[in-house]
Structure 1
Amino acid sequence: MGTDDRIQVIERVFQGEADEWHQLARRYQTRYDEMLGELVSRVRVPSGARILDLGCGSGVLAEIMLERFPDSQVTLLDLSSNMIAAAERRLERFGSRASFVEGRFEDMPEGPFDAVVSTLALHHLGTDEEKRTQYARILGSLTPGGSFWQGEYVLSSSPEDSELNEDAWADWLRTKDFSEEEVLQLRERVGHNDRPAPLVDQLRWLDELGFTRVDCTWRYIKFAVFGGHAPGRPNS
């Protein structure tokens, strides 16, 4: 399957799941709320901050950001028009503090941003070079000292350990009352649609590109919170 075909499949999937995505994510992904809490705890922004949420889904992370930083503005970007519509409904109470862009990651709105955040999104980029290029875009969009944090699906350092993590994830799904057929379908979906990269490689890319204070602050099975800061005086 070519990259464009795979992206079209991903778009169709998320178009169909938009209205229930915030519930599905909690079933699919281990310790989802714990991951979000850790990510948000790492973000430090000044008063009147501009924040970008890449691959915003139905707006769950953006909602937390808008509540945590009450004078901030959050721009949400997603490929799926249905996800954008779901996010607009979720964030209606925030008025003009939330703005929405339908497009691919490569079509990032113009910064500068005090923080860029993302959850379960950038693993859809097809190659390592595409991920590195996206990280470079993110760094270039940040204010001095601004930060980038994401909660992501990652691989381990070896294929053997990555496969063990996939098995552990399947076991976790069974504890959430997924049937064997559903577990198989989810594993096939991941295999067809997702292109995760090893965590150690991604941390190295961030460092090589010029991010500072690069770190992984949370990990459980195959999901991790990691990121870094743009050079300059940090926001905190």
Structure 2
Amino acid sequence: MKTMYYDYKGAKKVNVYKKRMIEKYLSELAWADILEGRLNQGNAHLKHIIEIKPLLPDTIFFTFQFSAAAEKLIEFCVEAEKSPLYEKAVLLLFDLFELRRDAYDRFHNEEEYLATMNQTADYKKLMLDYVVGRRVIDIGPGGGVMLDLIEQYLPDKLPIGIDISSNVIEALERKKQLEGHRWDVIKGDALNLKAYVEPGTIDTVIFSSILHELYSYIPFEGKKFNHDTVAAALQSAFDVLAPGGRIIIRDGIMTEPLAQKRRIRFFQDEAMEWLRRYAKDFEGRTIQYEIVAPNEVMMPVNDAMEFLYTYTWGEEAYVHEVQEQFGYFTPSTFTSFILEKLGPQANIVVSKHFLQDGYTEALRDKISFMDEEGNTVSLPDSTCLIVIEK
């Protein structure tokens, strides 16, 4: 087998693509199979090799061999890491090894992503005011910041993080062991929580900036960017809630009225190319823009904001942000959707929205944001906080 490491930004990184495939292979292999020399017949693209050398009779050498096709596809994944082709490359790899296509991992930059998520503690802390009961589930816990906050500020609670990503779960298990935390994590599917916890036994379920990722990445009945995925996640959470329990949502929103337009004047020459590239690559919907002057465009307000969310994060995050739609409901349509899908047992006790701190400052030196007449205006609200009680 070729090396399990490769160079990423000058640092030696484990080849997590190979690591994932080896983990799946071993999960389907029993010790009896190894001792009796039987190979895992489930996939033709990976096999193990056992070797005993005459000069070391008390040592067994155990290694893995990938097929030529698998090696090439893994190399392609490495090369595609900074390209919009990245997700497609990873999904091809998942298909080759028969992994679930919705088990989305960020692979090579998971550590950076988790570190970024851990910088969001201030606004996540606001959600603690609405937590009730004892057993609390955090869906998509990222770097564990919400789990840490619950443990620190609500010591009577029992926090549980649930995530579909093996990378996230492994990182959190290491963090728990190294730092001595008492919270737990479970690798699981947010759309089927009752498979991991008993219905009616959870007091609070938190979706902190995660529903838009489920909406964007998880195919529901074969379709991504699907409101039915959001409905399934909310119903899954509602099913495991005890009476009086709560769902707390913090996520992106679209602004109203939908027909409103905004002008953007770019201060950087490469920004127009950024917009052209984004409009071509974004998978959520067609992004509309009209060039009205050099380095200036007119856009529907929600297309403008969706682009600016990605533009704010910069090139490093582009490959992931271009695949995510942050706003998928306006505030009024979100609350109507919740009540329609969850029925009369659901009571919305909090519904508010705001502009997340940092966007205005991050964009100040990059753009001027204006109304249709060219007057400078504030960015619209980006984020909602909704609390549902059962």
Residue correspondence of structure 1 range 186-205 to structure 2 within 5 A: 186=318, 189-194=320-325, 196-200=327-331, 201-205=333-337
Q: Sort the Cα spacing of 1:35 and 1:81 in 2 relative to 1 into closer, same or farther, 3 A.
A: same
| Alpha-carbon contact 1:35-1:218 (below 8 Å) kept | no
What is aligned with 1:140?
239
The question of 1:226 aligning with 2:385 is answered: yes
Residues 94 and 26 of structure 1: CA distance in aligned 2, closer, same or farther (over 3 Å): closer
- Is the aligned partner of 1:161 residue 2:293? no
Task: Name stretches of at least 5 consecutive residues in structure 1 with no aligned partner.
Answer: 232-236
Match runs of 1:34-183 below 5 Å: 34-43=122-131, 45-46=132-133, 49-92=134-177, 93-95=179-181, 97-108=182-193, 109-110=196-197, 111=199, 112-123=201-212, 124-125=214-215, 126=224, 127-157=226-256, 158=258, 160-169=300-309, 172-173=312-313, 178=314, 182=315
Cα distance change of structure 1 residues 170 and 105 upon mapping to structure 2, 3 Å threshold: closer
Q: Residue 207 of structure 1 aligns to which amino acid in structure 2?
A: L
TM-score w.r.t. structure 1 length? 0.74
- C-alpha spacing 1:216/1:89, structure 2 compared with 1 (3 Å): farther
**CA spacing shift, 1:26–1:67, aligned 2, 3 Å:** closer
What residue number does 1:24 align with?
116
1:84·1:102 contact (CA, 8 Å) conserved in 2? yes
Please give the alpha-carbon distance, in whole angstroms, between the structure 2 residues aligned to 1:61 and 1:52: 10
- Between the aligned partners of 2:173 and 2:381, the Cα distance in structure 1 is 30
**Whole-angstrom distance in 2 between the partners of 1:24 and 1:86:** 14
Match of 2:55 in 1: none
The code of the aligned residue for 2:104 comes to E
Q: 1:17 to 1:40 in 2, by over 3 A?
A: farther
Hey, what's the Cα distance between the residues in 2 that align with 1:37 and 1:225?
A: 15
How many Å apart are 1:104 and its aligned residue? Answer: 2.2
Provide Cα deviations, 1:4-57, integer angstroms capped at 9, x if missing partner.
9598487232x3333233333378xxxx344212222332x24xx000011111
**Structure 1 residue 205: Cα displacement:** 1.9
User: Which structure shows the higher helix fraction?
Assistant: 1
Tell me the CA shift for residue 146 of structure 1.
Answer: 1.7
* CA distance in 1: counterparts of 2:175 and 2:136, whole angstroms: 17
The aligned length equals 212
Native 8 Å contact 1:207 1:214 kept in 2: no
For 1:234, the equivalent position in structure 2 comes to none
Could you list the per-position Cα deviations for residues 131-175 of structure 1 after superposition, in whole angstroms to 9, with x for gaps in the alignment? Answer: 1122122122222222211222333342722122234435644xx
SS in 1 for 2:123: helix
Amino acid aligned to 2:183: A
- For residues 211 and 197 of structure 1, the distance between their equivalents in structure 2, rounded to whole angstroms, comes to 21
| Distance apart, 1:230 and its partner CA | 2.3
1:11 corresponds to 2:104: yes
TM-score, normalised via structure 2 length: 0.47
- The answer to whether the 8 Å contact 1:84/1:100 transfers is yes
Task: Give the SS at the match of 2:143.
Answer: coil
- Structure 2 letter corresponding to 1:215: S
Bigger relative contact order, structure 1 or 2, given CA contacts below 8 A and separation 6+? Answer: 1
| Contact residue 251 and residue 326 of structure 2 kept, 8 A | no
| Distance change (3 Å), C-alpha of 1:57 and 1:155 | same
2:53 alignment partner in structure 1:
none
CA contact (8 A) 2:141 2:163 kept: yes
Is 197-206 or 18-27 further displaced after alignment?
18-27
* Alignment gaps of 5+ in structure 2: 1-86, 93-99, 216-223, 260-299, 357-379
